[in-house]
Structure formats: structure tokens, C-alpha cells
Amino acid sequence: MTGVIGVEMSQLEIDSLINSLLKEESPSRESTTRDNRARVRVYDFRRPDKFSKDQMRTLQMVHDNYARLITTFFSANFRTMVQIAVSSVDQLTYEQYLKGVASPAVLGITSLEPLPGNAILELTSSIAFPIIDRLFGGPGMSMPAVRPLTEIEQMAMERVYSGLLSNLEEAWKGISEFSPRLEMIEVNPLFAQIVPPTEIVVIISMDVRLGEHRGGLNLCLPYLLLEPVIPKLTAHQWFAGNRSQQTPERSQLEQGLLETEVEVVVQLGGASITVRDFLGLEVGDVMELDTSITSPVGLLVGGKIKFLGKVGRAGRRLAFRTESVCSGREDD
């Protein structure tokens, strides 16, 4: 049996009920709106990110290696304490990069054939002038006032850039093969228009400490230049390329190890006797060993048992046939 109960409510009671329901729903609506705002990320369509995080990490690893190489180069050539480390790897427009370059500057316009276009290798004036001073036989003093390089100073810097670019080629061998060449040294950033102002570039910034002086070395790589090698900018590719590289020093070391002679001894067995019996041993005496004729014997390499096998003859020579490899600890 079904019954219906009718209840009459005044307009004031109805309004009060609706308001109470709205108050209960409002916190959840506010929290939902707040969560949606937290998930929103600002994106500038005028400056899209063309490099993924994995590609940026690979560029970081490549130029960490480059920083180590040029640290050795600077130390060997300038005979002073040198510290170089990558401080940041960023992507921004070429216009934004040029706005951060002081004038006058030391900008090495570089080609990386067969990659298209040019790159820029920049040395800040605070470190360029101490380098020039040491090249000319000085203690590495900085200039009291920043000025453009003279023609003689530019010719001296070409020698420095030659070493920097040679090491850059070495650092990139795991990713791509190219032949860097210094096209010119520019002192005015306004004349260094290698790509349009809105083009995306990667800026690898490195802190350089040369003796008591501190400056920077910045490498500007346009997207158009890196586009042919972008699929190779992965950590796996870089590690695989580094493992496959064979330097002359490594080849010489491996050859030396292959030609190293080690002592190989076959241990037929052992026995324990007293000192009296040992002193009484004569030619023709027979000593019983702790191994049977059917059990395998050990082959010692450098005093460690590495193989097990059987002894016998090969023609007129004594021989050892390997049957198994000892995979245990070296002390076993």
C-alpha cells in the first residue's frame, strides 16, 4: 500500500532551504576552480619550446664533457689554475640572447660543416683580456676599461678559438661529426646577425675562472643548425657514442694489456707432510696427492684459480684441456 503525505512550505522556508544548499556546494566549486587554476601553465606562443627536456639534458651532458676538455686546454696553455663548469642550458629567442651580450664583445662566428648556418662562441671581456695578457707573456691582468680588441689581439684570440673549436668537435663526436671553423671575430653584437631575431636558440653558459679572474663562455646554437641532429639528442645516443669512441691513448693501453705476460700454473693437487718427511725425500719417492686421477684440476692465472680441466698430452708436450670457468670469488 502506497501513501503520499503532502507538506505545505511557505516561500520564506523555500528560500532558506535553497540558500543552505548553495552554501554547501560553494566550497567544492571553489576548490575545483582552484585546482583547475593550479593545473594551468603559462605558454608564450611567440616563443615556443622546440627542445624537449631530454634533449636539453643531453646538451647539458655533452657540454659538461666539453667543459672538462677545455679546462685541460686552458691549463696546459696558460699555466695557471683554471676552473670551467656549465652553469645553465636555456632556450630563448636570438633577440633575447643579443640583448644580454655586452658591447664591445668577443664573439667567434663559427661554422659547423656539414650542419647548416653558424653558431657563436662568446668569451666575455672579463676573461678575454686576461687570456690575451697571458698570451703576450703577462701575468694575466684585466683591462681597467673595456674596449674593442685590436687587430693583433684578434689574431691572438684566433689561436685560442682554434683550441676551443677542436675540443668542441671532440665533445660532440658521440652525437654528430662536424668540422668547426672560425669565420670571424665580431666585437659588435649588432653585426652578429646569424639568424632572425625571433629564431629559437640554445644558450650553453659556462663559468670560467682563470687565476683570480672570473668570466663566462657562452655557446649559442640556433635551432636551424641543430635541426638535422635533433633526433640524435638523446642520452642513450650520447652514451652509446662515447662507448664506441676509440682514442689513440685507449687503443695503446688496450694493446699493452693484450701483450702483457701472466704466469699460468696447473695445480695437480696438494699434500701435507711433516718437515722430517720433507727433509728425507729422495729421487724416486712417491707422494700421494689429495686429488684422484678422474677429478678436474685447477689452472691458476696470476696465482688465482680461473679454470678447471684435465691434464694430458698434445703430441710430445704436456697439455691442459679447459672444461669449465671458475665464476666464484677470486679468493676461492
Q: What is the mean pLDDT of residues 70-97?
A: 87
User: pTM for the complete prediction?
Assistant: 0.58
- Of 173, 170, 167, the residue nearest 232 (C-alpha): 173
pLDDT score of 19: 66
Q: Tell me if domain 53-247 and domain 261-275+292-332 are identical in fold.
A: no
Region of residue 240 (phi > 0: left; psi between -120 and 50: alpha; otherwise: beta): alpha
Residues 212-216, mean pLDDT to the nearest whole number? 86
Q: Average of pLDDT values for 32-39?
A: 49
| pLDDT-wise least confident of 77-86, 103-112, 141-150, 316-325 | 141-150
Averaged over 134-152, what is the pLDDT? 80
Cα–Cα distance, 149 to 108 (Å, whole number)? 12
- Which of 37-51, 133-147, 159-173: highest mean pLDDT? 159-173
| In the predicted structure, residue 60 carries a pLDDT above the cut 60 | yes
151-171 helix and 53-78 helix, angle to the nearest 10 degrees: 130
Average pLDDT over residues 40-66: 75
- Which CATH superfamily hosts domain 53-247? CheC-like (3.40.1550.10)
Domain boundaries, the chain: 53-247, 261-275+292-332
Phi, psi of 281 (to 5 degrees): -65, 140
**What architecture does CATH give domain 261-275+292-332?**
Roll (2.30)
- 270: confidence class by pLDDT, cuts 50, 70, 90: confident
**In the chain, at which residue ranges do the beta strands (DSSP E only) sit?**
82-93, 106-113, 118-123, 179-186, 200-210, 213-222, 264-267, 297-301, 304-314, 317-325
Residue 42 pLDDT exceeds 70: no
**Burial call 201-234: b when 16+ CB within 10 Å, e when fewer:** bbbbbbbbbbeebebbbbbbbbbbbbeebeebbb
Q: Cell triple for residue 178?
A: 662536424
Confidence of residue 247 (pLDDT cuts 50, 70, 90): low
**Residue 44 gets which letter from DSSP?**
-
What does the pLDDT look like over 170-198, one tens digit per residue? Answer: 888 878 888 999 998 888 888 888 899 88
Mean pLDDT of the chain: 79
Per-residue confidence band for 332, with pLDDT thresholds at 50, 70 and 90: very low
